[in-house]
Amino acid sequence: MRGRPTIRKLSVLGSRLRVASWNDDAPGDDLPLLVFSGIGMNLELLEPIAKALAPRRVISFDMPGIGQSPDPLVPYSMLSMAMTTSIVLDRLEIERVDVLGISWGGSIAQQFALQHRPRVGCLILAATAAGVLMVPGNAKAMARFTNPREFTVGNAIRRTLALMYNGGGAGIPVSLNAASPPSPVGWLCQVGAMFGWSSLPLLPLLDVPTLIIAGEEDNVVPPVNSRLLHAMIPGSRLRLVQGGGHLFMLSHLDRFATEIDGFLAMKTPVESA
């Protein structure tokens, strides 16, 4: 279905997941694009990105306890969520995908690419880092990031996202009306999955064509983290968005979509200019 996503509910490893697929009738041989979104971000916030990338098929799901996916029965890790994702693709009868990870979702994207290499065509890491071994953002932004009351209440999450994601970058104002608060359990599981996890030692083994893209004025995940990923991932390509904050993929949507389309069309790793 073009425009509006097809929504499914899938039970996988003890979690009931709300899965969305945009542009199911996409023509051509392009791989579907699997998107892992940021902490607390529900599917509806990805709608502008999915539309900008049409006619490419885009797939994503609400993490347990996020959006309309119920809380998980037990906490999950990056490793177990990568396994869950592989089962989701099996249920959708999809063998291989290109992968986009945004912010927190970039961690699962890296883990999925390392853990399930045969299923990954290309990898795109946006506004993300190598896990706990990262250069942190400014203190005010990080304090909100670790405060559950700033994420699990409706008005609070929209205020927090506005400050964290729009803050520090110039561009088209981003509407966050589609944001819905995660449950406290869902938020805690996302934060907990990051503790003790880092991709840094394994990044030299990541032989997937990789685009790393960051906002130059990101005050949550400073672009030095993207430079580190670029230095560690062989043959990766780095792009910085001038004036972009942490949510540059929405405030600079046309630039973001152009970079993704161009990279996926090449299908080969390219060194940054």
Handedness of CA 76, 125, 116, 131 (dihedral sign): negative
103 given a catalytic annotation: yes
Q: Which of 69, 103, 107, 199 is catalytic?
A: 103
CA torsion angle 234 239 240 241 (round to 10): -150
Do 171 and 248 contact (CB within 8 A), yes or no? yes
Q: Length of the chain, please?
A: 273
| Helix/strand/coil for 111 | helix
Tokens read off for 105: 């979702």
DSSP string, 216-272: TT-SSS-THHHHHHHHHSTT-EEEEETT--TTHHHHTHHHHHHHHHHHHHH-S----
Between CA 193 and CA 96 the distance in angstroms is: 25
| Residues involved in catalysis | 103
